[in-house]
Chain A
Amino acid sequence: DVKVTQSSRYLVKRTGEKVFLECVQDMDHENMFWYRQDPGLGLRLIYFSYDVKMKEKGDIPEGYSVSREKKERFSLILESASTNQTSMYLCASSAPGRAKVEQYFGPGTRLTVT
Chain B
Amino acid sequence: AQSVTQPDIHITVSEGASLELRCNYSYGATPYLFWYVQSPGQGLQLLLKYFSGDTLVQGIKGFEAEFKRSQSSFNLRKPSVHWSDAAEYFCAVGAWESNFGNEKLTFGTGTRLTIIP
Please state if A101 and B107 are interface contacts (CB–CB under 8 Å). Answer: no
CA distance A92 to B105 in the complex (A): 11
Interface set of B (CB-CB < 8 Å, partner A): 32, 34, 36, 41-46, 49, 51, 90, 94-95, 102-105, 107-110
For A80-114 the 0/1 string (1 means CB < 8 A from B) is 00000000001010000010111111111010000
Interface set of A (CB-CB < 8 Å, partner B): 4, 9, 40-43, 45, 56, 90, 92, 98, 100-108, 110
Please state if A41 and B45 are interface contacts (CB–CB under 8 Å). Answer: no
Chain B residues, Cβ within 8 Å of A9: 41
Chain B residues, Cβ within 8 Å of A98: 32, 51
Please state if A42 and B44 are interface contacts (CB–CB under 8 Å). Answer: no
Please state if A101 and B105 are interface contacts (CB–CB under 8 Å). Answer: yes
Please state if A42 and B108 are interface contacts (CB–CB under 8 Å). Answer: yes
